[in-house]
Structure 1
Amino acid sequence: MFKRRDPRTVLRIVAEAFWPRGGWLRAAHYVKHRMRRLPGTPEQIARGVFAGAFTVFTPFFGLHFLVAAVLAKMMRGSILAALLATFIGNPLTYVPIAYISLKTGHWMLGTRMRDDLDDSIFHRFSAAAADLWYNFLSIFTEARADWSELARFYDGVFFPWMVGSLVPGLLCGVLCYYLTVPVIHAYQKRRAARLRKKMEKLRAKAGAAPAEH
């Protein structure tokens, strides 16, 4: 009953992760529409947006939803707004976000970032993952565990990224907060006015209807 009429292939799922059906502009409009209709005060929604915007700059891939939700909960913000705001981090923005965070982190730590972004990020991620898998298998074999790639990943990518994410994450979060509050406030005000106008029309219509005997 709930199956799709046109089941998606793996290739289509991967393709739509990078380019949603209708394009990223349509997806952005959908997120904006959902954001404006969220329950809560403008400040609560804006705090949730702050949490989501800040989170996408951190290196916790695969955990952004969880981190954003926890941060929004701590800030007494809208968790749904935080989850929607993680849309800022998508396949089109992850590379510049990663570059800004890493560059800022290495600058703050007084270290040097490799010029080859592909080698400094994607290669390190894959090497660290391979290290984890190899060491997991070593539990069941006679192979000796080796944490060298994971250590290089932590020193060269993860730690600088984590440190560097604080500055652009805070800047992006604060900017999104102060942009969200007036937008949500104006939308809720217009929506309340429309509801009042609709209720007045219904009352006027009910009053003009002939009384039943």
Structure 2
Amino acid sequence: MVFKRRDRRPLWRIVYEFLWPRGGWGRAARYVKHRLHRLPDPPHRIARGIFAGVFTTFTPFYGLHFVVAGFLAWIMRGNLLAALLSTFFGNPLTYVPIGVVSLTTGHFLLGGDKAARHEHGSIIKKFGEAGRDLWQNIKAMFHGTEPDWRDLSIFYDEVFFPYLIGGIIPGLVAGLICYYVSLPLITAYQNRRKGAIKARLAALKKKRGDAGSAD
């Protein structure tokens, strides 16, 4: 294939670069910040998109964060690209604290028994068993066997639903903080950029005027 990598990366390298991209997460954050500042939209629309993206990272819809953020931005009439870029608020360095806060809040709000949460194993185990259940049940559809939804049911009751409910409050808090912080910054950046463009145009006009006078 024409576009196939010549140097196939080993599995450990793929995992490492997912957890720590080239240049580090600091460089990735600066890139996202630069792109957000330069979006051609009013500051309030960009800030709404940022809110939608950050809020989405506190939901358990892993793999669908782009879709959820885009939908929320559309409802809020925010900037779609800002929403997609802001989902990078959730990354391998932040997903653990986000998950812990969301699940803890969810179990607290739902009044769940702390001992019952670990009755069927750790969260990672529940994720794995739910994924295995889903795959086995998809295969069961083609083999005519009876599906078993027990592990998925446990996952929904002890992880997904508490995560969904518990992520609302911290998601709103984080989203609002990012909204109110980003709005004046983007406004100031756009005003400074407009001023710089006007200054360059004025200088160019003056230069052409001087050249015309010389002729």
Aligned twin of 1:165: 167
Aligned twin of 2:132: 130
> Number of matched residues?
210
Aligned twin of 2:9: 9
Structure 1: stretches of 5+ with no match in the other structure = none
Aligned twin of 2:152: 150
The 4+ residue runs of structure 1 with deviation greater than 2 A are 2-8, 10-14, 112-116, 139-144, 210-213
Task: Return the offset for 1:8.
Answer: 5.2
| Alignment partners' CA distance in 1, 2:65 and 2:7 | 28
Could you say what secondary structure the match of 1:146 adopts? coil
For the 8 Å contact 1:101–1:164, the answer to whether it is kept is yes
Post-superposition CA distance 1:27-46 (Å, at most 9, x none) = 11111111100111110000
Task: Return the offset for 1:146.
Answer: 1.0
Could you say what secondary structure the match of 1:57 adopts? coil
| Alignment partners' CA distance in 2, 1:43 and 1:140 | 50
Could you say what secondary structure the match of 1:140 adopts? helix
Aligned twin of 1:188: 190
| Greater Cα shift, 5-14 or 61-70 | 5-14
What are the equivalent positions in structure 2 for 1:25-104 lying under 5 Å apart? 25-104=26-105
| Alignment partners' CA distance in 1, 2:49 and 2:7 | 34
| Alignment partners' CA distance in 1, 2:17 and 2:147 | 38
| Alignment partners' CA distance in 2, 1:32 and 1:58 | 22
Could you say what secondary structure the match of 1:132 adopts? helix
Cα gap change, 1:7 to 1:69, in 2 (>3 Å): farther
Structure 2: stretches of 5+ with no match in the other structure = none
| Alignment partners' CA distance in 1, 2:46 and 2:144 | 53
Percent of aligned pairs with the same amino acid: 52
| Alignment partners' CA distance in 1, 2:6 and 2:97 | 35
Task: Return the offset for 1:153.
Answer: 0.3
Task: Return the offset for 1:175.
Answer: 0.5
Could you say what secondary structure the match of 2:129 adopts? helix
Cα gap change, 1:193 to 1:109, in 2 (>3 Å): same
| Alignment partners' CA distance in 1, 2:4 and 2:196 | 37
Report the RMSD for the aligned CA atoms in angstroms.
2.0
Cα gap change, 1:4 to 1:128, in 2 (>3 Å): closer
| Alignment partners' CA distance in 2, 1:73 and 1:63 | 15
Post-superposition CA distance 1:124-166 (Å, at most 9, x none) = 1111111111112222335432111000000000000000010
Task: Return the offset for 1:204.
Answer: 0.6
Task: Return the offset for 1:4.
Answer: 8.0
Could you state the TM-score of these two structures normalised by the residue count of structure 2? 0.91
For the 8 Å contact 1:48–1:77, the answer to whether it is kept is yes
Could you say what secondary structure the match of 1:180 adopts? helix
